[in-house]
Structure 1
């Protein structure tokens, strides 16, 4: 354990950059409790690694992890039942457009052409082989006007399909395979680890709509109530530092990290081994958020004037 921890700290330069972490470890002060929410997806592996490997505790944090079905439902609980929640830039933009004080505290995953996590997947029984053939079809989505949905709307529009001609049905990622098999939908907006399973089952990969927004583009991030985040800069800094160490641990000890992924997702070993892990990054800047603001405007999903700089914790 000490060898692994030293390796991680060496990769990050954390020993020199965060002297406070050492003081925290040596002190007898009670850890600061933080309530954090995420969904079951390989995107949130850094959270689980930081929790299971004791990285949060080393930073003086007692992190309680809550699992939810849809991250968009956590916004109203921020600053009350929750302190920090997994999110997408879309969640932050929509909340701000609605007058809520929500900020992004750090990034989590990036979507890149070299490492795609999202796909638009068509049923192998639908006859659909391209995005341009989805006129009049039914698509399963995790959340109407969520991040993957906005990307799909953008891809449809740029492929010559009127998004209004497409019917969207909300469903959980875990149910999408069954819905395709039952032919209740013609395609689904899916993410890893479920993309790998659908591809293995022979369904049709229509590409990654996320790359219509940008490459690279922020896929997931972490958000908090703005008032809480500004009043608690030290716990936020420690939280981000622990996630950064977790990111380095995943890069250096992928086998062990996948064991943690199996524990939290309860997916079979063969599925866990086939999953393409996301590109993890704690970076989050106004530019990352601005790309999604532009995508929402192009798809007609945003009319409010927003300043991206005010949506990211400084």
Structure 2
């Protein structure tokens, strides 16, 4: 299983750090922003299994409808730490926000088919070429699904500039397809499964399987000034996620992992039982972030060339 394989990538030394006793002298309050995807599972597990608490962190998960709004919420102090996609994070930094990464969320994997291109019933969309001239909803312009879908279109020989992209939050996808407001959406489970089961749409492509494995799908960012003033809290947050990752990859804990996800994403039991969970990747590397820089530069999304080493809190 990919989740079990992902554990080896965390590194023995980092995992060992997760077992150290809590060192925080006082409780640090953290408001954490998440969107409705399973890539945040390690945060949910760390909260429910008490990994944050034993390290002196009081983490309050807060639902954010659109991933692209997370950097602004960090800047305004509405969030202490938030989970933007790597592309949203890099665009925010490129635009002048002084943010750093304190940890990571989920990772890409070839066997993950939990997101893809979902076309409206009767639209006739089957290939990348069929998307030309169509209106396609994405849950955040410049976010993970938007950027990776455009990369797939380009890989298939299609000019993504000839596709009309509109921003639409996950919960709106089914209604937009039914009403004919969009021809397709780039969506993810559990919303994708609900759409197909209702007959409102069908999966035209699990395009995600073309992505390289082991790259971050979600990163956990904070303002640089907060991270520099709270280095112990940054380490404690990351170590909590490392411990949660170790918990997640053990098959015997699957039911508890899914229960933690269901609590925060509010999934019905039948959907929760089937939803795919991305491999956990709590430690972000320079290589992983550099992959996203390259992908975004290829789409003319960055003005500068960010120093990835400076963007990761150590």
Fold match by TM threshold 0.5: yes
Deviation at 1:105, TM superposition (A): 1.4
- 1:22 and 1:303 mapped to 2: Cα distance? 44
Deviation at 1:97, TM superposition (A): 0.9
Q: Which runs of 5+ in 1 are unaligned?
A: 1-10
- When residues 114 and 213 of structure 1 are mapped into structure 2, their CA distance, relative to the original with a 3 A threshold, is closer
Deviation at 1:224, TM superposition (A): 0.9
Q: Give the equivalent residue in structure 2 for 1:170.
A: 167
Q: Give the equivalent residue in structure 2 for 1:250.
A: 248
Deviation at 1:239, TM superposition (A): 0.7
- 2:304 and 2:155 mapped to 1: Cα distance? 23
Deviation at 1:197, TM superposition (A): 2.9
- When residues 303 and 55 of structure 1 are mapped into structure 2, their CA distance, relative to the original with a 3 A threshold, is same
SS in structure 1 of the partner of residue 246 of structure 2: helix
Deviation at 1:96, TM superposition (A): 1.6
Q: Which runs of 5+ in 2 are unaligned?
A: 1-9
Q: Give the equivalent residue in structure 1 for 2:65.
A: 69
Q: Give the equivalent residue in structure 1 for 2:4.
A: none
Work out which of the two has the higher radius of gyration on C-alpha atoms and give 1 or 2. Answer: 1
Is residue 2:21 matched to residue 1:22? yes
Match for 1:181 among 162, 178, 183? 178
Q: What is the aligned-residue RMSD (CA, Å)?
A: 2.6
**Residue pair 1:21, 1:58 contacting (<8 A) in 2 also:** no
Is residue 2:110 matched to residue 1:113? yes
Match for 2:29 among 24, 30, 33? 33
Cα distance per residue 1:67-113 (max 9 Å; x no partner) = 11123212133263322111211122112211221111111101111
Q: Please, which moves more after superposition, 174-183 or 116-125?
A: 116-125
- 2:31 and 2:15 mapped to 1: Cα distance? 28
SS in structure 1 of the partner of residue 205 of structure 2: coil
Is residue 2:144 matched to residue 1:155? no
- When residues 118 and 283 of structure 1 are mapped into structure 2, their CA distance, relative to the original with a 3 A threshold, is farther
Deviation at 1:235, TM superposition (A): 0.6
- 2:11 and 2:297 mapped to 1: Cα distance? 38
Q: Please, which moves more after superposition, 193-202 or 258-267?
A: 193-202
Is residue 2:283 matched to residue 1:286? no
Aligned residues: 302
SS in structure 2 of the partner of residue 22 of structure 1: coil
TM superposition score normalised by structure 1: 0.87
